[in-house]
Structure 1
Amino acid sequence: MKLNKAQRTQVKLRLGLSGASGFGKSYSALLLAFGITNDWSKIAIIDTENSSANLYAHLGGFNVLSLNEPYSPERYIEAIRTCENSQIEVIIIDSITHEWSGKGGCLQIHEKLGGRFQDWAKVSPRHQAFIDAILKSTCHIITTVRKKVDYSMDTDMNGRAKVTKLGMKEITREGFEYELTLNFEIINDKHLVKVSKDRTGLFMDKPEFIIHKGTGAKLIAWCNEGVSLDEAKAEIQEATTIDGLKHIYSKYSSLQKQIHPMLIKRKNELEGISSQVIEKENIINPTKIETNGTSSK
């Protein structure tokens, strides 16, 4: 265990957009993505909504990956990997609701296993793998999720059953919002949004507003504050000594987990270069080969 000073690093966004059907989740997500990249070709939308993303083709030349049933966690993960391998910068998953409640999604997988509580032991790891694919992605990720009216069955003072309306509830596994950097709730069909979670501090306690390109631009500026993983990678490649690598490891304390494999690889490269130089020197000047710790005279 080791204490390190707090250090702000550049991050990839994990944004959520929730709202009822027809409230403009896909459209808002695309505007956010363009504000982040300023390049439509660097945006991909994983479309589970019957190719509805193509309705917004007039906005720009973004990429579409149509994902049909079964909506298993593994197929979502494969779609994310496909986007990452295509040099995409922003992935929109529209929507994640199907991974949970769609055909072939987690609820249906659980039901087919028997629907018992203990059957979640087989389903939960698969769902968590999907969440991990989002959290560990090298891209900025925007997720959309449907909302529905949530009700509860209560008892009044006279002992009679009554239905109580609790408000709108996201159709995905409870707790997903906690994983996000920021969550926008679209509250009506006029596309007005409010923030339910905001680690950036940019929108909390602000009045409702409509998402536009400038919203994404503001977010990417926040992301780019702090030390950069790309800068750390470049310094590692330029390092020529082991001491230099040690300095880089200390300098980027908040990135140590990510850069450790790169540091080991570069260390091995430098040690290999050093060994080759010594071997070459010994071939050219054999009289300098040390014997029992002393040079030949």
Structure 2
Amino acid sequence: MEIRKAERKKAKLRLGIAAPSGAGKTYSALLLAFGLGGKVGLIDTEHGSGDLYAHLGEYDIIGIEAPYSVSKYTQAIKAFEEAGYSTVIIDSLSHAWAGDGGLLDKQGKMADRGTNSFAAWRTITPEHNSLVDAMLKSPCHIIATMRAKQEYVLETNDKGKQQPKKVGMAPVQREGMEYEFTVMLDVDMNHIASASKDRTSLFDGRFFKIGEATGKELSAWLETGTEPMKFADYIASIDAADSLASLKSAFVKAHNFASGNPEMTDQFTAAKDQRKEQLTPQGVI
């Protein structure tokens, strides 16, 4: 174990937007992405609705149709990463959970075939975790929209009469998904956003409409900090190790960085083995 001083590093955005249908999730996500700057890619699960906002600015689309499997989401994210996009909008993440062919649907079909509930979730949970990992480890900014469970409440209008009002509830996603994001914004039917979770402290107590300025504000916060280590930096730290103890420490950090990437792990292992051979006196096992 290593004790080190806390240090905030530059980071990529992990933002969730939850809202009822018609509250402006896609519109808000695009404006925020334009404020972040760079190439914007949108994963569209809404049957082409992503094209309706082409007048707002330049962005590209990968469409996903049912069944909404986790693999389709992760492949789309990877395609945008490899093409050099700065921001990936997942619109909407709810389909991966509750859509046709999503995780809930898959779990239900397994139960229908006689698989007990515990065994079914033992299969579904790793798939869900792989989607979370794809978002958290992406080199792109990730903005994920989620449908909110809808409920009508009665409120008194200016004439003193009761009238129904549609409000947003919890996001349609696996319970606890909102905790995976740096910022979680809830948007109401008047397009007003508030933060239910905010590690940046930028939106504490604020009620606002999401726009390009929101993206610029977040970008400034994300760029404040030290540069995070990259692949080449970890290789250099392994090569520079001057003892077996420091080599072990460098390799553990590199291995954690490569988590989930077998090719990168193999490269770090090869570098470690080569340096270990150099540091080990001849004839010593």
TM-score w.r.t. length of structure 1 = 0.74
Q: Identical aligned pairs, as a percentage?
A: 39
Q: Which runs of structure 2 are paired with 1:47-62 in the superposition (5 Å)?
A: 47-62=44-59
Q: CA deviation at 1:36?
A: 0.8
1:198 matched to 2:198:
yes
Structure 1 portions without partners, runs of 5+: 152-164, 275-297
Q: Amino acid of the residue matched to residue 131 of structure 1?
A: V
1:176 matched to 2:177:
yes
Structure 2 portions without partners, runs of 5+: 153-165, 259-263, 279-285
Q: CA deviation at 1:9?
A: 1.0
Q: Amino acid of the residue matched to residue 4 of structure 2?
A: N
CA distance in 1, matches of 2:234, 2:75: 33
CA distance in 2, matches of 1:9, 1:242: 23
Q: Which runs of structure 2 are paired with 1:1-297 in the superposition (5 Å)?
A: 1-37=1-37, 39=38, 42-115=39-112, 116-118=116-118, 119-149=120-150, 168-188=169-189, 190-206=190-206, 208-229=207-228, 233=232, 242=241, 257-258=256-257
Q: Contact 1:242–1:267 at 8 Å: present in 2 too?
A: no
Q: Contact 1:96–1:144 at 8 Å: present in 2 too?
A: yes
CA distance in 2, matches of 1:264, 1:5: 27
Q: CA deviation at 1:191?
A: 1.4
CA-atom RMSD, angstroms? 3.4
Provide, for residues 136-187 of structure 1, a one-character-per-residue CA deviation record: whole Å limited to 9, x for no partner: 1111100000012369xxxxxxxxxxxxx99622111111001110011111
Shift in alpha-carbon separation, 1:127–1:258, aligned structure 2, 3 A = closer
Q: Contact 1:237–1:266 at 8 Å: present in 2 too?
A: no
Q: Amino acid of the residue matched to residue 63 of structure 2?
A: S
CA distance in 2, matches of 1:179, 1:100: 15
Shift in alpha-carbon separation, 1:263–1:204, aligned structure 2, 3 A = same
Shift in alpha-carbon separation, 1:231–1:86, aligned structure 2, 3 A = closer
Q: Amino acid of the residue matched to residue 117 of structure 1?
A: S
**1:160 alignment counterpart:** none
In the comparison of the two structures, how many residue pairs are matched? 253
Greater shift after overlay, 75-84 or 195-204? 75-84
CA distance in 2, matches of 1:265, 1:225: 34
The residue matched to 1:185 in structure 2 has which SS?
A: strand
CA distance in 2, matches of 1:167, 1:239: 50
TM-score w.r.t. length of structure 2 = 0.76
Greater shift after overlay, 42-51 or 128-137? 128-137
